[in-house]
Amino acid sequence: MQHFVIVGILVIVTTVLTYLGLDVAGLAKQQHPIAASAQSASIDQLWHWEMIVISFLFALIVVPMVYSLIVFRQKKGEMQDGEHMEGNTTLEITWTVVPLFIVVIFAYLGGWSLGEVNRVDPQALVINVKGQQFTWTFEYPEYGIISNELHLPVNRQVVLKMTSTDVIHSFWVPEFRLKKDVVPGRVNDYRITPTLVGEYKVRCAELCGTSHAYMENPVIVESQAEYDAWIAEQSALVEEALKTPEGQGRLLTVSNGCTGCHSLDGTPLTGPTWLGIFGRQEQMSDGTTIVVDEAYITESILNPNAKIVAGFPSPSVMPAFSFTDEQLANIIAYLKTLK
Amino acid sequence: MSHTQTKSAALMQGVIIAVYLAALTVLEYFVAVAFDAVPLLIIVAVIKGFLVLYYFMHIYKLNEADTDPNHDSYAYKTVTNRLGLWLFLLSDAFVFAGLLVMRANLLGLSRPHLNQTLGLVVTVVLLVSSFFMNRGETQMAHGDVKGFMRNTLITFLLGLGFLLGVVVVEWRGIPAIAEPILHFFGEPAGIEPLTAATGNPLTGPVGGVFFMMTGMHAFHVFTGLVFLAVVWNNARKGVYTAEKHWGVEAAAVYWHFVDLVWIFFYPALYLIGKVIE
Amino acid sequence: MKKFFTSALFKGLVWQVIGFFIGAGLVTGIRALMGLSVTDTFFFTEPAWVLGAFFGALAFLVGCGVTDDWIKWARGIDTPDHHEEHWHGWEKYINVSLDHKVIGIQYTLISLALIAIGGTFAMIFRTELAASELQFLTTDLQLFGQNGPQLYNTLMSLHGMVMIISILLGVSGIINYAVPLLIGAADMSFPRLNAFSYWIAVPAAVTLISSLFLGGFDTGWTGYPPLSARAPVGMQMFFLGVFIAGWSSILGALNVVVTVLRMRAKGMTAMKMPIFVWAGLATSIIAMTATQFIGLAFQLVMFQRLFGMGFFDPAKGGNPILFQHLFWFYSHPAVYVFILPGLGVISELLPVFVRKPLYGYRWIAMSSIGIALVGFVVWAHHMFTSSMNEYLRVPFMYSTLLVSVPTGVKFFSWVATMWKGKISTPTPMLFVLGAIVVFLMGGLSGPPHATVSTDLHLHDTYFVVGHFHDTIFGGFVFPFFAAIYYWFPKATGRRMNEFWGKVHFWLMTPSFFVLTFGMMYVGLMGMRRRIADYDPALGIDTAHLILTIAGFAIFFSVLIFFINFFYSIKHGEKAEGNVWGSRSPEWQVPSPMSLHNYPTPIEVVGEPYDYGLKDAPYIRFAPAAKGKSKH
């Protein structure tokens, strides 16, 4: 009897210590990273309850084990037997039924939480999302804006209509706590209500190929005023761009996700950087050297596997694009501006 | 070895079951044509399956009392072998179940546009081959080796007929067969899907489902034929007796299993759902 | 050396190469006749590689001699039932033996080899992950037709699948070795099938690992299309290698089920079997039926690549989510194949080192079957974010949480078994205790995945990686080591070194705690799975450095184990009796076991775990039988 009392006390103490330990690590009540969506509330809440139960169950098993190891130790050199206990049906039924009960409760809570997460606002803002190897493209249908950055107004539900052009990706913003796969041939809905202004990142969460690690785009949650200003600014840029070949070329590169693999600042990503690309000398994978001109760029877009720059994946990861001659000319005009 | 039936009674039972199977197949075909009632088709298939499982495959033998304590005796080992064979068939059944799941997911309540006469003919051929297999096995169980060989030969020829009917006649009759072959040997890009050329919808997943299901089944028919040839040859050499013919029982049960799978694949491919025009 | 070149292993490998060239040559020849290209990046075209690898595996099987008896049967020639062994010493293990003990050890050895290979892959990419930014697996690196990040993906993917295969083979190893001994049988029901199940794993492993050299693949061990439909040729070797290995699993499991049902000693009713046999039975039921689905799923992608059949290609009307359903229908029950034997080892060994009956034997036995059965209806919890049917996620949440009930029964029973025992902690027991705690952590980190909403955050993060390393180490790796330390004397007549065993444990276990807590932590901070590089802004660089160090500590502890293992075979302390004082049948005869196990058959006369009761033996040796003898 005495054993049970001691163990009981130790279990309670260990539960509290375990819980506190988790809390200090930011894994219990206050979680990392900071929660930034309305949907995260029930998720973080459920997680917290789960951590409490987990702390208890951990203690419940480990404490009696460690206690037994110390108190019921075999003396060195001896081979005595322990007490002949085969079982106790009441106890065994109890430790089957009680966990069953707890499990059903958590399943119910899980259902509740999922319901909270899935609440639909019929007035939600619609944004189209395209995932591709290796970038995200966001289209604001009402304004005709296409961007590689997702701007969202705070405290308003947004429904992202997502599809992929190649393989399965997954849309995840850790601070939002939700993720949803992005599947070719389907349009999947992702509903989110951002509640905290800030700069986050959407990180692809389904292995999608070589540069999966780098498929991260900025997500900016801002006040309604800032959001409106951004929309206005982007709309103006689009209008301006449509007037010149270079501008139209730039719009094409945004909507086709080129900058996911081709950086504008000199960093080699999945593909060669575009900074200073036109007229550059490149060493190819077959040892030859070429100069980047109109013909080379056209060929690389229409048939990426024809020539590959040394040090980049071969066969090429770049999909073949089919553009009209005018579109190609515009893109080339734009590339020429990237000095 | 004790027989629960005389030879002629056992043979007659085989005939009766074959008649039932034939009748149910005719019923199945007309139900499909007239009503397109999926549950009814499934029920008919299940009944046919049960008949084969019980009367041809003798599944009840798994339950036979096994009183010989000597683990080394032939009797004990035969019961062990039988259990092993049936577990193998159970695990193989999961493959075919997976194929049916695939068919249901990709095709739903539609079906490929196939040659119905050919489908009915090959189905009947396979069922009749099971009839002769049952005859042959019964004869071997009663010591008639020559009778076994005769009937097994007929089974083999009918099975071969089924195989050729599906793989040679039916597959070739579908223009879309060329596309997969070309794809295997040709360049991955640049082959126009034949849908454009012939308008035949049997490319894409529809074709894939059809070829995969009939192909996997045909592979099992092929291995069944090999198995039959092996036991026929061994019978010729005098290896089997009425008391000891485990190889024959195994070959027969495997053959019936192949037929059993087709009992479900036939409606799944030919009868259930609306045709994709 | 000459002994190696005449061995079945060598012959099989030679024939695998010959078979490969026949298959590849056939396809290439037909292509040449059709006027199509005959070469590609890796010399042969993809169809040639696939058919070649397939023929190679078949040729290995015939060439190594494991199918010889069956070929004789097909020709009507009978073979003797009781086989004599032709090889002695270490040659036994590279030749075809029908003795389940030899086969069990062969499985264990190939499992350990794959653990070493998979572990080495992990150490390579773990080193890269120690700091953000790419250090050596950079885009400049070119190896085996892959640049650094591509190589990372291949190594990471192969780490997964090589380890999984090592687990399947390790599980087969323990079950094969122990089950016939535990039930008092002379061997498995189908000894030739048993040998076949082992030998097929060799060409399977070769095919799987060859993917590294054929451009690798970048899909992770799960091989999801559409990505896997467009990956390099290495992808096909991956699919085919796993497909072939699946046969080992299925046929081996079938053998176990029949053996347990048909070959038990007199008096051994179901509730008097050693508990490990229940675990083996439950495991085998799963492996025998569910494995087909991964075979089918992979076969469909292979055919999509080879024949253009659009099963999973949305452009042709296919459904990528179908792959996930087929794949996970096996791959979830598969994890129970991984852990049920290990949990059975825990249940089997605890009474021995606690000198007390296994508490609630019946319930533990039933819990293994319960886990196996419920495990079939939880698969879609791997797909909560996949855009599968939204409402279907809820029943799967319930069924997934339900699995924790029979699992909990085991934990409570183990604690109750230890309570008021007389506990000693030699190395096998240390690993059993480590297994319990680690598996507990794995089991407790499961429910946050089971509840759908929390899983929407956790899926595909390093938290999952922490969770499954816990469950795998607790359910397989620790028990595997426990089983080896425990049964080593039975197999060799010698003990492994106790001091180095303890070093192995005490180096591995704390490092492992650090590793998994660290993985769960970085996952919650925002680290995704399967990434070669991570955002420095996440602030997890230091954590990753610690993880890498922990990984190396584990690696070295396993190295110590390997040295101890191989050294002790010839130089370990002699231990020919009942080293652990176990009541189990195999320990009532001297070590090593003789060829057909029990020279005098055993009969069950009591309960397996009646420690603490006087005059209550479990078995006795059958009194001299009149007339009939076994051999």
Q: What is the C-alpha to C-alpha distance for residues B105 and A93, in angstroms, rounded to an integer?
A: 41
The residue of A103, A171, A175 whose CB has the most chain C CBs within 10 angstroms, and thus the best one to mutate to test that interface, is A103
The residue of B106, B184, B200, B233 whose CB has the most chain C CBs within 10 angstroms, and thus the best one to mutate to test that interface, is B184
Amino acid at residue number A209? G
Structure tokens at C207: 């095919």
Q: What residues of chain B lie within 8 A of the CB of C74, using their CB?
A: 230, 234
Q: What residues of chain A lie within 8 A of the CB of C226, using their CB?
A: 166-168, 184
C310/B208 CB distance under 8 A: yes
Among B residues 214-253, those touching chain C with beta carbons less than 8 Å apart: 230, 233-234, 237, 239, 247
- CA-based nearest residue in chain B for residue C315: B204
- CA-based nearest residue in chain B for residue C261: B80
| C75 min Cα distance to partner chain B (Å) | 7
- Closest to C531 (Cβ–Cβ): which among A64, A116, A213? A213
Q: What residues of chain C lie within 8 A of the CB of A47, using their CB?
A: 448, 454
User: Within an 8 Å CB–CB cutoff, is residue B99 touching chain C?
Assistant: yes
The residues, any chain, with a CB within 8 Å of residue A253's CB and separated by 6 or more, are A259, A331, A334
Q: What residues of chain B lie within 8 A of the CB of C186, using their CB?
A: 71
C47/B234 CB distance under 8 A: no
Give residue B60's domain range.
7-275
Burial of B238 (0-12, 13-18, 19+ CB in 10 A): exposed
A209/C408 CB distance under 8 A: no
The residues, any chain, with a CB within 8 Å of residue C26's CB and separated by 6 or more, are C51, C55
A207/C611 CB distance under 8 A: no
User: Within an 8 Å CB–CB cutoff, is residue B20 touching chain C?
Assistant: no
Domain assignment present for B1: no
User: Within an 8 Å CB–CB cutoff, is residue A77 touching chain C?
Assistant: no
Judged against a pLDDT cut of 80, whether residue B189 lies above it is answered with: no
Q: Count of A–C CB contacts within 8 Å?
A: 282
Q: What is the C-alpha to C-alpha distance for residues B79 and A185, in angstroms, rounded to an integer?
A: 52
Burial of A100 (0-12, 13-18, 19+ CB in 10 A): middle
β-sheet bridge partners, residue C621: C602
Please report the pLDDT score of residue B2 as a whole number.
43
What CATH number corresponds to the domain at position B200?
1.20.120.80
The residues, any chain, with a CB within 8 Å of residue A335's CB and separated by 6 or more, are A249, A274, A277, A278, A297
Answer whether C19's CB lies under 8 Å from C56's CB: yes
- Closest to C296 (Cβ–Cβ): which among B99, B230, B237? B99
Q: For the whole model, what pTM was predicted? A: 0.94
Structural domains in chain B (count): 1
C255/B70 CB distance under 8 A: no
Among B residues 163-202, those touching chain C with beta carbons less than 8 Å apart: 179-181, 183-188, 191, 193
- Closest to A25 (Cβ–Cβ): which among C440, C441, C521? C521
C31/B208 CB distance under 8 A: no
- Low-confidence spans in chain C with pLDDT less than 70: 82-83, 624-631
The residue of B87, B149, B223 whose CB has the most chain C CBs within 10 angstroms, and thus the best one to mutate to test that interface, is B87
C318/B188 CB distance under 8 A: no
B203/C316 CB distance under 8 A: yes
**Phi-psi label, residue A164: left if phi above 0, alpha if psi -120 to 50, beta otherwise:** beta
C440/A62 CB distance under 8 A: yes
B185/C290 CB distance under 8 A: no
| B16 min Cα distance to partner chain C (Å) | 33
Please report the pLDDT score of residue A70 as a whole number.
95
CA distances from A180 to A138, C383, C565 (A): 16, 10, 47
* Length of chain C, in residues: 631
C310/B233 CB distance under 8 A: no
Q: What is the C-alpha to C-alpha distance for residues C602 and C584, in angstroms, rounded to an integer?
A: 11
Q: What residues of chain A lie within 8 A of the CB of C402, using their CB?
A: 100, 103
Domain assignment present for B71: yes
Answer whether C424's CB lies under 8 Å from C483's CB: no
Pairing of strands A188-192, A158-164: antiparallel
Q: What is the C-alpha to C-alpha distance for residues C117 and C619, in angstroms, rounded to an integer?
A: 42
Q: What is the C-alpha to C-alpha distance for residues C511 and C126, in angstroms, rounded to an integer?
A: 14
Among A residues 151-170, those touching chain C with beta carbons less than 8 Å apart: 166-168, 170
Pairing of strands C146-147, C142-143: antiparallel
| B237 min Cα distance to partner chain C (Å) | 7
| B32 vs C457, higher pLDDT | C457
The residue-averaged pLDDT of B252-268 equals: 96
Please report the pLDDT score of residue B115 as a whole number.
84
| A324 min Cα distance to partner chain C (Å) | 22
Q: What residues of chain B lie within 8 A of the CB of C316, using their CB?
A: 193, 203-205
Structure tokens at C631: 């051999």
CATH fold, domain C96-621, is: Cytochrome C Oxidase; Chain A (1.20.210)
Query: What residue ranges in A193-291 does DSSP mark as E strands?
Result: 198-203, 216-222, 281-283, 289-291
Q: What residues of chain B lie within 8 A of the CB of C81, using their CB?
A: 72
Please report the pLDDT score of residue B193 as a whole number.
37
Please report the pLDDT score of residue A163 as a whole number.
96
| B236 min Cα distance to partner chain C (Å) | 10
Q: Where are the domains of chain C?
A: 20-75, 96-621
C254/B206 CB distance under 8 A: no
Q: What residues of chain C lie within 8 A of the CB of A111, using their CB?
A: 394, 397
Q: What digits encode the pLDDT tens for the residues A95-147?
A: 999 999 999 999 999 999 999 999 999 999 999 999 998 899 999 999 989 99
Answer whether A216's CB lies under 8 Å from A149's CB: no
Using CB atoms, which chains have 3+ pairs under 8 A with C?
Answer: A, B
B84/C190 CB distance under 8 A: yes
Q: What is the C-alpha to C-alpha distance for residues A4 and A54, in angstroms, rounded to an integer?
A: 21
- CA-based nearest residue in chain B for residue C189: B80
Q: What residues of chain C lie within 8 A of the CB of B183, using their CB?
A: 306-308
Residue appearing with tokens 């082992």 = C198
- CA-based nearest residue in chain B for residue C316: B204
| A5 min Cα distance to partner chain C (Å) | 14
Name the average pLDDT for chain A.
92
- CA-based nearest residue in chain C for residue A43: C454
Domain assignment present for B2: no
- Identify the CA nearest to C238 among candidates C259, C269, C257, C217: C217
Domain assignment present for B103: yes
User: Within an 8 Å CB–CB cutoff, is residue A61 touching chain C?
Assistant: yes
Q: What residues of chain C lie within 8 A of the CB of B184, using their CB?
A: 47, 306-307
- Closest to C296 (Cβ–Cβ): which among B98, B209, B247? B98
B102/C295 CB distance under 8 A: no
Lowest mean pLDDT among A67-76, A305-314, B167-176, C106-115: B167-176
- Closest to C454 (Cβ–Cβ): which among A43, A80, A107? A43
B102/C326 CB distance under 8 A: yes
